[in-house]
Amino acid sequence: MSKELLDALNLLEQEKDISKDTLLEAIENSLIKACENHFGKADNVKVTIDPKTCDFEVYAEKEVVEDVEDSMLQISLEDARQKDKRYMVGDIVRVEIKSKEFGRIATQNAKNVILQKIREEERKSLFNQYYAKEKEVVTGIVQRYLGKNVSINLGKCDAILNESEQVKGEVFKPTERIKVYILEVKNTTKGPRILVSRTHPELVKRLFESEVAEVKDGIVEIKGLAREAGSRTKMAVWSNDPNVDPVGACVGINGARVNAIVEELRGEKIDIICWDENPAVLIENALSPAKVICVVADEEEKTAQVIVPDYQLSLAIGKVGQNARLAARLTGFKIDIKSETQARESGLLEEIGYLDGVTEEYEGYEEYETYDDAGDYDGIDEDYDDGDEPYDDGAYGEGDDAGDSFNEDEENQ
């Protein structure tokens, strides 16, 4: 029986991740509970269990008396001396209790105590396991839709992807594998309740940490990130090693690294720019792929005036203001974008000390240039004024800083 018990405890320890000591403690409590149900009390009952062999002994500590008033707590001197002739009145005698003599109800209650302890420890183990993964990205398997929410299996338990944490337009199929960001793990009586997200900005950051070794090792830092889930993300990166190009490391050879993340995010566009301590340079980079004439930033007020060529105004603002909005979130500045003509008419160019003819290099441009998937210039895109996106998934270039490629007037800042 002891060997069978030992094998059962070892199996539970492996499958349920419950320590054997905890299970032995549960068995000890169950035996004491069985004694209490069988005898009516168990104040003087003790249980010893050998953790190596699982041999156990149940006994009651009884006081030696002349006249027995309570047989559960006392033993007569005559009976005590049958065990050992040296016993005297007032001594404590250990009297073995045969657990096989327990009644059916006492045995059932003892069994329930053990099962209850196993369930509690299993819930506690699961909670600790997933609580350690909070704020991390995990891979789950889509189970089913619960109304508008989605049940995601994470291995040992299910998580809930609420409608508010789903990317608009994403539809999942059962058994489909997706990556999710663990928002919160709550401990409940029915086990851990795990809430996950597909829209959280940290999802993109964690994906880059898992995909880009330089980010994971801390060589490249993600300084800032702004996201509109399902549409576009802007991310500012910085390298602690002058020999490592932060944008190139995140993009990868032929865009392999960033494309893997874009695929996981189902086509969401990602702009990767170089972070800079100079807020004006940072804002100029953040507005890429638009070209910027000049940026005047007020660090105290957290505001910035940006002047762009006339033909770049719509590109700088972006479709329904998305490019400017994400740039503002990324930099933390309130950005006011004006075309060169608007700046001249309002006197802003003269106010900030810009001379006439400073933007002669831009004259003659009727359309703007974009990057193709290979990172090369692919000519003209004339659809932007109709509301179409001016750049594709290759907008981040191939190993080059998308921000740097639009910094032709950096010396004018």
Print the SS3 string covering 123-168: HHHHHHHHHCCCCCEEEEEEEEEECCEEEEECCCCEEEECHHHCCC
Residues 358-407: tens digit of each pLDDT: 444 333 333 333 333 333 333 333 333 333 333 333 333 333 333 333 33
The number of helices, as runs of H, and strands, as runs of E, in the chain is 13, 17
Helix 256-264, helix 201-211: angle, nearest 10 = 140
Query: How does residue 354 score in pLDDT terms, banded at 50, 70 and 90?
Result: low
C-alpha dist (Å) from residue 142 to 130, 145, 172, 316, 384: 18, 9, 7, 39, 37
Residue recorded with tokens 């003819």: 357
Could you tell me the two tokens for 268?
């969401």
| pLDDT given at position 277 | 93
Q: How far apart are CA 323 and CA 316, in angstroms?
A: 6
Residue 353 banded pLDDT, cuts 50, 70, 90 = low
pTM above 0.85, yes or no: no
| Statement: residue 189 has pLDDT above 90 | no
- List residues bridging with 144 in a β-sheet: 151
- In three-state secondary structure terms, 170 is coil
Residues 235 and 270: beta-carbon distance below 8 Å: yes
